[in-house]
Amino acid sequence: MGRGKIEIKRIENANNRVVTFSKRRNGLVKKAKEITVLCDAKVALIIFASNGKMTDYCCPSMDFGAMLDQYQKLSGKKLWDAKHENLSNEIDRIKKENDSLQLELRHLKGEDIQSLNLKNLMAVEHAIEHGLDKVREHQMEFLMTKRRNEKMMVEENRQLNFQLQQQEMAIASNARGMMMRDHDAQFGFRVQPIQPNLQEKIMSLVID
């Protein structure tokens, strides 16, 4: 006995609806993969469940972006507004510019230069020489700055040593003075100033 025809309408029971969705979703994805392999077709599939969860499939030979661009061209329907188109064009421009810079960098490193003609090779050589001159110039500036800094450090070190020596001498002098005062105080030595009359007598004796 064959299966009865199922009426296509919304399944009211939530559990049955989830089970049916899961089975049919898997069946759709399976059929999409089969038709991609069997018929060499370009297939893209997007499914959104009632809870917002997404299931998608795209054939390996084309990504979703390219698939949507082709759909837009063939159907005549605008999927993107002018703002998004301008953004897409800007992204393409930046990607091309980046690819060009990457290629130029490989050329400067001596890679992928087999396809360059003489004019392009001379341009690469000029760019390398110009870059080398800049590197040497920066290297000389770095060395000169380093030498100036070294001289400044030597001079600062000399000044610090001189100040340290002065401080050590002052400390030593103060220490000797204190020791002498302590010695005089201990043994009762005291330097008496010369009396004026005595000084005159000494001077007269020297003259005589």
Each residue's pLDDT expressed in tens, for the chain with a length of 208 residues = 456 677 788 888 989 999 999 999 999 999 999 999 999 999 999 999 988 899 999 999 888 888 888 888 888 887 777 667 777 788 888 988 898 888 888 887 888 888 888 888 888 888 888 888 888 988 999 999 999 999 999 999 989 988 898 888 888 888 887 777 766 666 555 545 545 555 565 556 555 5
The token pair at 99 is 């690819």
What per-residue confidence (pLDDT) applies to 180?
A: 77
pTM recorded for the entire structure: 0.39
149 within domain boundaries: yes
Q: What CA dihedral angle connects 155, 157, 162 and 163, to 10 degrees? A: 110
183 within domain boundaries: no
Domain residues for 164?
A: 134-175
What per-residue confidence (pLDDT) applies to 83?
A: 67
Instruction: State how far the Cα of 189 lies from the Cα of 185, in Å rounded to an integer.
Output: 6
Instruction: Determine the residue type at 107.
Output: H
Number of Cα atoms under 13 Å in the Cβ half of residue 148: 6
Domain CATH code at residue 59: 3.40.1810.10
Domain count, the chain: 2
The beta-strand segments (E) located in 69-149 are none
Among the candidates 32, 52, 79, a domain finishes at 79
